[in-house]
C-alpha cells in the first residue's frame, strides 16, 4: 500500500509531512515557506509534551516556534519540593527545552489552577499574538477535565478573534492567524477526534530529550507515566499514518470547511 492509499484508508484524516506535494494528496504543515507556530498552553510541561514536537518540526523545516505558558504549572509540585521552587524548576526546564528545539519561550505569571477566563487575560494573549505574528496557533482542546486547560482554550479562541480585529486598538497592529490546531493530550481527551497526522520522526529524538528535562516527564512528581504515554503514542500514531512516529492534531471546526467549485 503506498502512502497515498494508506492516507485515504485512514478516512478523512490529513497526513502532514515534509514530502513534496507532488508525492500525492497529502498536506504540508503550512505553506511552501514555513511560517511561525505559536503554542499556547496552561502549563509548560504538558505544553512541551503535546505541542513541542510540532514546534520542532516547523523549526526543522525552516520555520519558527514559540511556546507561551500562562502559568508555570507550579502546583504539580511533589511533596518534597516547595511550590515556588518547583515553579522555578518548571521555568528553567522550559527555557532549556525550547532552546533545544530552537524555539522561544514566554511566560505569564498566572497562578497554576487559578488561570482565569476574562477580558484581561484574553487581551494579554491577543497582544502576544500580535507581537509574535504566528501563522499557526496550537492550544488545548476544550474537552478537558482540567479547568486551566478549558479556560486556556476559551482565552485563545477570544485572543485570536481580538488579534485579528482591526478596529480593536492595541499597541500593535492586527494580525490574522491562518490555522488553529488542538494537539492530543491525555487530559483533554473528551470528544477529541484527530483529523491530522504529522510526521515527527526527523525531530522525535530531540523532542524526547526536551521532554526529559522535566521531572514530571520522568515520573518524579506524580502517578502518570508521561514518558511511556507520549513516546508510545507517537509510535501508535505513526502506525496509523504510515510514518515511523507521528503526533495527531484536531483542526478547529472553522478551518474544516472546504470551498469547492466541484468535488
Closer to Zn ion by Cβ: residue 7 or 250: 250
Rounded Cα distance between 173 and 156, Å, is 18
Closer to Zn ion by Cβ: residue 3 or 43: 43
Q: Between the CA of residue 240 and those of 13, 49, 199, what are the distances in Å?
A: 10, 20, 11
Count of chain residues binding Zn ion (CB under 5 A) = 3
Closer to Zn ion by Cβ: residue 7 or 55: 55
Minimum CB distance to Zn ion, residue 130 (Å)? 25
Contact window for Zn ion (CB under 5 A) among 46-54, 92-100, 112-120, 200-208:
46-54
Q: 3, 26, 36, 43: which one contacts Zn ion (CB under 5 A)?
A: 43
**112 touches Zn ion by CB under 5 A:** no
Which candidate, 92, 156, 111, places its Cα nearest to that of 129?
156
Q: Between the CA of residue 194 and those of 137, 156, 175, 182, what are the distances in Å?
A: 16, 19, 27, 9
Dihedral angle sign, alpha carbons of residues 250, 255, 257, 259: negative
Rounded Cα distance between 157 and 137, Å, is 10
**184 touches Zn ion by CB under 5 A:** no
Closer to Zn ion by Cβ: residue 43 or 245: 43
Q: 37, 40, 46, 122: which one contacts Zn ion (CB under 5 A)?
A: 46
Which candidate, 42, 24, 63, 62, places its Cα nearest to that of 138?
42
Rounded Cα distance between 36 and 225, Å, is 31
Chain residue at closest Cβ approach to Zn ion: 43
**153 touches Zn ion by CB under 5 A:** no
Minimum CB distance to Zn ion, residue 34 (Å)? 27
Minimum CB distance to Zn ion, residue 31 (Å)? 31
Binding interface with Zn ion (CB under 5 A): 42-43, 46
Amino acid at each position: 500500500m503506498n502512502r497515498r492509499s494508506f492516507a485515504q484508508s485512514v478516512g478523512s484524516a490529513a497526513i502532514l509531512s515534509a514530502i513534496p506535494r507532488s508525492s500525492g494528496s497529502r498536506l504540508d504543515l503550512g505553506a511552501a515557506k514555513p511560517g511561525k507556530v505559536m503554542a499556547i498552553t496552561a502549563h509548560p510541561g504538558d505544553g512541551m509534551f503535546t505541542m513541542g514536537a510540532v514546534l520542532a518540526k516547523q523549526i526543522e523545516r525552516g520555520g519558527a516556534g514559540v511556546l507561551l505558558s500562562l502559568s508555570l504549572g507550579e502546583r504539580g509540585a511533589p511533596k518534597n519540593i516547595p511550590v515556588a521552587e518547583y515553579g522555578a524548576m518548571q521555568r528553567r526546564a522550559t527555557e532549556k527545552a525550547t532552546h533545544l528545539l530552537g524555539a522561544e519561550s514566554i511566560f505569564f505569571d498566572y497562578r497554576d489552577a487559578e488561570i482565569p477566563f476574562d477580558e484581561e487575560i484574553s487581551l494579554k494573549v491577543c497582544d502576544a499574538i500580535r507581537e509574535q505574528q504566528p501563522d499557526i496557533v496550537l492550544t488545548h482542546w476544550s474537552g478537558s477535565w482540567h479547568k486551566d486547560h478549558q479556560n486556556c482554550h476559551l482565552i485563545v479562541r477570544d485572543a485570536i478573534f481580538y488579534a485579528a480585529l482591526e478596529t480593536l486598538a492595541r499597541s500593535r497592529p492586527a494580525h490574522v492567524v491562518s490555522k488553529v490546531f488542538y494537539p492530543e493530550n491525555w487530559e483533554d481527551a473528551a470528544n477529541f477526534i484527530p483529523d491530522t497526522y504529522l510526521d515527527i520522526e526527523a525531530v522525535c529524538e530531540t523532542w524526547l530529550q526536551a521532554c526529559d528535562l522535566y521531572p514530571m516527564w520522568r515520573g518524579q512528581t506524580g502517578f502518570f507515566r508521561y514518558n511511556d504515554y507520549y513516546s508510545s503514542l507517537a509510535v501508535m500514531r505513526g502506525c496509523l499514518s504510515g510514518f515511523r512516529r507521528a503526533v495527531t492534531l484536531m483542526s478547529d471546526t472553522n478551518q474544516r470547511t472546504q470551498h469547492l467549485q466541484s468535488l
